[in-house]
Amino acid sequence: MGETFKFGVNIPMTFRDSYRKMLSIAKMCDSLGFDSFWIPDHFFFSPRFNTYLEAWTTQTALAASTERLRFGNIVLCNSYRHPPVLAKMAATFDVITGGRLDFGIGAGWKEDEYVAYGIDFPRASVRIKQLREAVIIIKKMWTEDSPSYKGEYYTIKNAICEPKPVQKPHPPILIGGSGEKLLLKVVAELADRCNFDFGIKRDVETYKRKIKVLNRYCRLFGRDPDEIEKTIAIQVVIAEDEEGVEAKIERFKPADVKREDYLKGRVVGTPEECVKRIQEYASLGFTYFIVNFPDMTDPETLSLFAEKVISKFR
């Protein structure tokens, strides 16, 4: 396979003993050859899942206990941290980890969190404009000696950010979202990576359309579409044989979800079947797979995926 493929693990933040379990999983991923570890950015999620560690603090602690694993967020909510402060935080993280930051950011969407924490929740078009200004500021602070910027929503003046990130010209910036009128235009203008996955149907035709729209915007900004790495976040249900696969489907499929819908939205099967499914996504242009497993606390699941799936793409 000519492409360079990457595999990260997207960790849920809802374990009851969250940090102990996440640390164990991160160390396993580090030793098994996964490229990265991705953490969602929420304060709480639902009445059922309200035990939630703060993302940035958690990944900093995890990074200190691993050696080569990269860390990212899928994705940071721009509204939750003032952009120039976030730029400073991210630069510091990249320095102390020796260049292991994969920076993921989005416009924000979870209104109940905004309301609960007293954060303004403007309409989507405003949040996307704020995201655009935020990314501009963050890039300037990572690459310029004494940057200034005056926008509609954010302003900086001689905002010194030293030391600069280790990665040059800056850590890769992933912008998450799939809105075809506004969000993907920001991706085309400013992102190094895209991720469409929140709130879309996970079928080939949807992904093809999103990529087509993104490519059109890239031409508008004079960018080569291939400059933007395409990532996909998807759940994997894997077992050594068909019997094991069926047992996991029975165990993890919600009762109110049809089998065909459950299978359509996931990579499900034996290692050989998982390889084929991932190759289908690769044929669309995806090269970075950010996966999660319903049984990721089981070391055998992580090992099986690393040894019999990831190995096929190296």
Residue that the structure tokens 């469409």 belong to = 196
Residue 135 near residue 107, CB atoms below 8 Å = no
Domain total of the chain: 1
Range of the domain at 153: 6-233
Query: Please, what is the Cα angle at 82 between 77 and 83, to 5 degrees?
Result: 80
DSSP state of 289: E
Residues 6+ apart with CB under 8 A from 20: none
**CATH number for the domain including 26?**
3.20.20.30
The span from the CA of 28 to the CA of 36, in Å, is 12
* 72, containing H or E segment: strand 70-73
Nearest CA to 263 out of 288, 289, 238, 290 is that of 238
Q: Is residue 90 part of a domain?
A: yes
Residue that the structure tokens 């730029």 belong to = 87
pLDDT digits (tens, 9 = 90+) for 253-312: 999 999 999 998 899 999 999 999 999 999 999 999 999 999 999 999 999 999 999 999
pLDDT at 71 over 90: yes
Contacts within 8 Å (CB) and 24+ apart, 274-279: 274/236, 274/238, 274/305, 274/309, 275/308, 275/309, 275/312, 275/313, 278/309, 278/313
pLDDT at res. 1 = 45
Computed over every residue of the chain, the mean pLDDT equals 95
Q: Is residue 282 part of a domain?
A: no
Q: Is residue 48 part of a domain?
A: yes
Residue that the structure tokens 């890769």 belong to = 172
Q: Is residue 137 part of a domain?
A: yes
| % residues pLDDT > 70 (the chain) | 96
The reply to whether omega before 163 is within 30° of 0 (cis) is yes
Average pLDDT over residues 89-99: 98
Nearest CA to 127 out of 176, 178, 78, 177 is that of 78
**What residues are paired with 6 via a beta bridge?**
288
What pTM does this model have?
0.95
The span from the CA of 210 to the CA of 180, in Å, is 7
Q: Is residue 14 part of a domain?
A: yes
* C-alpha count within 13 angstroms, C-beta hemisphere, residue 8: 24
Q: Is residue 45 part of a domain?
A: yes
Query: Please, what is the Cα angle at 231 between 225 and 237, to 5 degrees?
Result: 150
> Please, what is the angle between helix 183-190 and helix 204-220, to 10°?
60
Pick the residue with more confidence: 232 or 52?
A: 232
Q: Is residue 249 part of a domain?
A: no
Q: Is residue 261 part of a domain?
A: no
pLDDT at 131 over 90: yes
* Banded model confidence at residue 49, pLDDT cuts 50, 70, 90: low
